[in-house]
Amino acid sequence: MAKKIIQVNKNPVYEIGMIATVFGKDTEFNGDLAFDKSLQINGKFEGEIKDGDFLVIGEKADVRANIKVKTVIVKGTVYGNVEATDKLEIHKEGKLYGNIRTSKLIIADGVVFEGKCEMIRPGEKPRKKEQSKEEPASA
């Protein structure tokens, strides 16, 4: 359950034009999360994230979740498996401890990545839940 109110950000960023919803840096959320358009997490999240179009993990974010969305940008820390059917970007300060599955992968210098990587065809359907329950790499 969220401890803070979800904030809406009207500032244009990235290629989709704007982030529809932002979880602020003081937000802590536990549970399963599904969203339609775009989301940026700047606080703490634990659970599962799925069915979204565009997810940004902010620079100070701590996310402990398996993620299945179209596009993921990691600037903070993620513990869990990431399946990004369109694209996964890990920026300079990003840390990802888990397996990844994506059609496009961009990794900047200085990134920490511990896990396995599987490249898929663009637009390939996400794996069914029982097939993608690989354990994330330990930190």
Q: Give 9-36 pLDDT, tens digit per residue.
A: 444 344 445 799 999 999 999 999 999 8
129 pLDDT higher than 60:
no
Report the pLDDT value the prediction gives residue 128, as an integer from 0 to 100: 62
Q: Closest Cα partner for 14 from 78, 91, 66, 76?
A: 91
84 pLDDT higher than 80:
yes
Most confident of 1-10, 12-21, 62-71, 128-137: 62-71
* Residue in the block written with tokens 């982030």: 19
- d(Cα 138, Cα 65) in Å, to the nearest integer? 13
| 105 contact partners, CB below 8 Å, separation of at least 6 | 87, 88, 117, 119
Q: Which of 99-103, 105-109, 130-134 has the lowest mean pLDDT?
A: 130-134
Q: In the numeric block, which tokens belong to residue 87? A: 């694209």
Position 121 confidence tier, pLDDT thresholds 50, 70, 90: confident
Q: Closest Cα partner for 68 from 89, 83, 90?
A: 83
The number of C-alpha atoms within 13 Å of 81 and in the hemisphere containing its C-beta is 19
Report the pLDDT value the prediction gives residue 12, as an integer from 0 to 100: 38
